[in-house]
């Protein structure tokens, strides 16, 4: 099949680099890279969902997370600044 394809500059630079490395023609290199990319997409394994395990901070009585400045003063002292 013959077609015209517009390639982004960064992709063209990578293709040129691969052509120099392999010594293959543009046509051979593009076909090989496309084949690799298209077959890899078929074999992708779904990722396991990322699970966050909550952790209870157990603040001392009278302290809460609503006012961070007040919390830092209580825990680290006013000299922290």
Neighbours of 73 (CB within 10 A): 14
The domain locations on the chain are 1-54
Going by C-alpha positions, the residue among 4, 5, 13, 14 that lies closest to residue 36 is 14
- Rounded Cα–Cα distance for residues 59 and 71 (Å): 9
- Rounded Cα–Cα distance for residues 68 and 65 (Å): 6
Task: From residue 67, give the alpha-carbon distance in Å to each of 8, 31, 80.
Answer: 49, 59, 16
Looking at residue 8, what is its pLDDT? 96
- Over its length of 81 residues, how does the chain's per-residue pLDDT go in tens digits? 888 989 999 999 999 999 999 999 999 999 999 999 888 867 777 788 999 999 887 777 777 778 888 888 887 887 776
What are the start-end ranges of the H helices in 1-81?
9-22, 26-42, 68-76
- Strands (E) across 1-81 are located at none
């Amino acid at each position: 099949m013959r077609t015209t394809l517009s390639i982004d500059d960064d992709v063209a630079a990578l293709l040129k680099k691969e052509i120099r490395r392999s010594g293959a023609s543009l046509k051979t290199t593009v076909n090989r890279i496309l084949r690799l990319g298209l077959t890899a997409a078929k074999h992708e394994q779904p990722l396991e969902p990322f699970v966050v395990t909550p952790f209870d901070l157990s603040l001392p009585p009278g302290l809460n997370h609503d006012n961070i400045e007040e919390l830092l003063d209580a825990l680290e002292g006013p000299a922290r600044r």
